[in-house]
Amino acid sequence: MNNYKLQETSVWKFIDRGKWATHNPYYRGNWSPHIPRNLILKYTKENDVVADLFLGGGTTLIETKILNRNGIGVDINIESIKLSKSLLNFYVENNSKQILKNEDSRNTSIESNTVDLICMHPPYANVIKYSNEIKGDLSLLPPKLFLKEWDKVAKESKRILKKGKVCSFMIGDIRMNGCVYPLGFKSLEVFLNNGFSLKEIIIKEQYNCKLTSYWKNKSKQYGFYLLAHEYIFILFN
Ligand SMILES: C[S@@+](CC[C@H](N)C(=O)[O-])C[C@H]1O[C@@H](n2cnc3c(N)ncnc32)[C@H](O)[C@@H]1O
């Protein structure tokens, strides 16, 4: 991976989602390792601290380990922590540390002003439910309630991130009753209202999405375009 080519434009598409190290596509809705890799390489240096407040299957933390950054991963679901721990069990020739916390991203034990990059991928409200009943799981909330709690994530991000450093998150819109609910822009607005400044809007093209055949039929039946992009927002604290 020494000659890894970073993205150069504001439109990203990864036909090969990335299979190096212990990465795999099995954690539902996980992101391609190309995404945290691009963000980490562009916005941090070795030994910096990178936090992912929605750890999932551990993709970001695997990248911090390979790239010699210290990683902090937070997830409310203990299954995510267990899975990530097992996937982080590989050898690298560096002394970086990866810390996993089974906590709520709205209220973590991470010290204030200690993080150099936040790189996170929350649930898109309740599009995919990550548990049936875990208290505080934001994937159980419909969009409007999700956005209310997202405000607390923005405040927590502001607290833990060093001044002038980057906070990035990927999120998509939702189709509801034939209309688009612009969850992406609404979630961006929450961060802007909390004092973050917008540096980049990246359009991430979706490729090989599991739900496609279901939505293909629906889009033909009701005559709407398939949503085939997500946003990666890059903000400064
Ligand atoms: C889209 S997944 C993240 C996938 C991850 N980027 C990956 O590549 O595996 C969203 C994660 O957010 C977690 N989550 C939901 N509510 C949370 C909360 N309040 N605090 C921390 N994690 C939460 C879910 O358990 C789920 O693992």
Q: What does pTM read for this prediction?
A: 0.96
Å from CA of 104 to ligand 1 middle = 10
Residue 220 pLDDT grade (very low, low, confident, very high; cuts 50, 70, 90): confident
Confidence at residue 130, expressed as pLDDT on a 0 to 100 scale: 96
Residue 209 pLDDT grade (very low, low, confident, very high; cuts 50, 70, 90): low
- The upper half-sphere exposure of residue 176, i.e. CA atoms within 13 Å in the direction of its Cβ, equals 13
Residue with the bigger pLDDT between 172 and 3: it is 172
Residue 211 pLDDT grade (very low, low, confident, very high; cuts 50, 70, 90): low
Q: If phi over 0 gives left and psi between -120 and 50 gives alpha, with beta otherwise, what is residue 100? A: beta
**Residue 40: which H helix or E strand, with range?**
helix 34-43
User: Is the pLDDT reported for residue 32 higher than 80?
Assistant: yes
User: Is the pLDDT reported for residue 210 higher than 70?
Assistant: no
User: Is the pLDDT reported for residue 142 higher than 80?
Assistant: yes
Residue 216 pLDDT grade (very low, low, confident, very high; cuts 50, 70, 90): confident
CA nearest 108: which of 36, 161, 184?
A: 161
Sign of the torsion angle spanned by Cα atoms 141, 143, 149, 152: positive
Give residue ranges with CB within 6 A of ligand 1: 27, 29-31, 54, 56-57, 59, 74-77, 80, 104-106, 121-123, 130, 136-139
Which atom, in ligand 1's list, is nearest to the CA of 31? Answer: 8
In angstroms, rounded to a whole number, what is the distance separating the alpha carbons of residues 141 and 127? 9
User: Is the pLDDT reported for residue 208 higher than 80?
Assistant: no
pLDDT 10s digits, 84-125: 999 999 999 999 999 999 999 999 999 999 999 999 999 999
In angstroms, rounded to a whole number, what is the distance separating the alpha carbons of residues 122 and 166? 17
User: Is residue 68 within 8 Å of residue 94, measured between CB atoms?
Assistant: yes
Confidence at residue 207, expressed as pLDDT on a 0 to 100 scale: 72
User: Is residue 126 within 8 Å of residue 140, measured between CB atoms?
Assistant: yes
**Looking at residues 173-195, what average pLDDT do you find?**
95
Which atom, in ligand 1's list, is nearest to the CA of 84? Answer: 9
Å from CA of 3 to ligand 1 middle = 31
For ligand 1, atom 3, name the residue with the nearest CA: 56
- Mean pLDDT (the chain, rounded): 95
User: Is the pLDDT reported for residue 212 higher than 80?
Assistant: no
For ligand 1, atom 2, name the residue with the nearest CA: 56
Residue 223 pLDDT grade (very low, low, confident, very high; cuts 50, 70, 90): confident
Q: Where are the domains of the chain?
A: 11-236
pLDDT 10s digits, 34-89: 999 999 999 999 999 999 999 999 999 999 999 999 999 999 999 999 999 999 99
35-67 burial: b if 16+ Cβ within 10 Å, else e:
bbbbbbeebbeeebbbbbbbbbbbbbbbbbbbb
In angstroms, rounded to a whole number, what is the distance separating the alpha carbons of residues 16 and 38? 15
User: Is the pLDDT reported for residue 15 higher than 70?
Assistant: yes
Å from CA of 122 to ligand 1 middle = 5
In angstroms, rounded to a whole number, what is the distance separating the alpha carbons of residues 172 and 2? 31
**Looking at residues 147-166, what average pLDDT do you find?**
98
Fold for the domain defined by 11-236: Rossmann fold (3.40.50)
Which atom, in ligand 1's list, is nearest to the CA of 128? Answer: 1
In angstroms, rounded to a whole number, what is the distance separating the alpha carbons of residues 113 and 38? 23
Residue 178 pLDDT grade (very low, low, confident, very high; cuts 50, 70, 90): confident
